[in-house]
């Protein structure tokens, strides 16, 4: 088998599957539709990916692996700059958010199709999908959690996880719904500028991460 032809076939299947899963959902998108769009036969899917579940995992891994590598490289750089000094929370947030927003605006790396796919995981969560994403993001989540602990050492553990949860939610919404800003602002803002979006979101979320602890309600 020609290695170059093999790579091209695999890429066509992944491209077609990414679009199909994003548009129709994981359950509704059939292998028959995917192989027709990719102009391959079913044997090619089984050869490269083994099953539909293996194909779904490969679709995510193609985008998530380089995303994770970029995030960790930026986090390593932020930690190196900090040295023994306090790690700035803005540096941790920029390393986490910047690569994701750039990916969401880069059509050569999936762009809109992949962000719609991520939106599907929020709209159609299943134990299988959640387990798969945990495998792909698990090590990165652990590294960033440790970095946030270092940046905010006085924040109680439970509160830290709430705030990381809010960070992920704001990032996901910004990635997956870029047109909402245009509707609210009447086209005054361009959501396609990933650099500007990153700066705005990092500044906003840094304030939230540093915010005073919520006051406990006293029972009467």
Q: How many H helices and E strands in the chain?
A: 10, 0
CA dist 130 and 60 (Å) reads 12
CA dist 34 and 41 (Å) reads 10
pLDDT at 4: 44
pTM of the model: 0.87
Contact 118, 100 (CB under 8 A): no
Q: What is the pLDDT along the chain (220 residues), one digit of tens a residue?
A: 455 467 799 999 999 999 999 999 998 999 999 999 999 999 999 999 999 999 999 999 999 999 999 999 999 999 999 999 999 999 999 999 999 999 998 988 888 889 989 888 887 888 888 899 999 999 999 999 999 999 999 999 999 999 999 999 999 988 876 666 666 666 555 556 888 889 999 999 999 999 999 887 766 5
What DSSP designation does 2 have? -
CA dist 16 and 83 (Å) reads 45
Residue 219 CA to its chain's centroid (Å): 40
pLDDT at 7: 77
Angle at 140 between CA 137 and CA 142, to 5 degrees: 110
Render pLDDT for 108-138 as a digit per residue (tens, 0 to 9): 888 888 998 988 888 788 888 889 999 999 9
């Amino acid at each position: 088998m020609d290695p170059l032809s093999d790579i091209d076939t695999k890429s066509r299947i992944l491209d077609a599957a990414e679009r199909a899963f994003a548009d129709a959902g994981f359950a509704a998108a059939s292998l028959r539709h995917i192989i027709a769009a990719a102009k391959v036969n079913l044997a090619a899917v089984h050869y490269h990916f083994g099953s539909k579940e293996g194909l779904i995992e490969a679709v995510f891994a193609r985008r998530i692996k380089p995303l994770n590598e970029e995030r960790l490289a930026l986090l390593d750089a932020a930690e190196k700059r900090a040295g023994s000094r306090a790690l700035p929370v803005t540096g941790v947030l920029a390393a986490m958010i910047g690569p994701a927003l750039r990916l969401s605006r880069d059509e050569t790396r999936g762009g809109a199709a992949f962000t719609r796919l991520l939106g599907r995981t929020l709209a159609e969560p299943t134990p299988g999908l959640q387990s798969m994403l945990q495998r792909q993001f698990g090590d990165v989540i652990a590294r960033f959690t440790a970095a946030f602990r270092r940046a905010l050492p006085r924040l109680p553990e439970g509160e830290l996880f709430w705030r990381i949860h809010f960070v992920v939610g704001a990032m996901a919404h910004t990635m997956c719904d870029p047109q909402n800003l245009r509707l609210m602002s009447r086209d005054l803002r361009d959501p396609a500028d990933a650099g500007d979006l990153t700066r705005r979101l990092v500044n906003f979320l840094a304030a939230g991460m540093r915010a005073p602890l919520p006051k406990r309600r006293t029972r009467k």
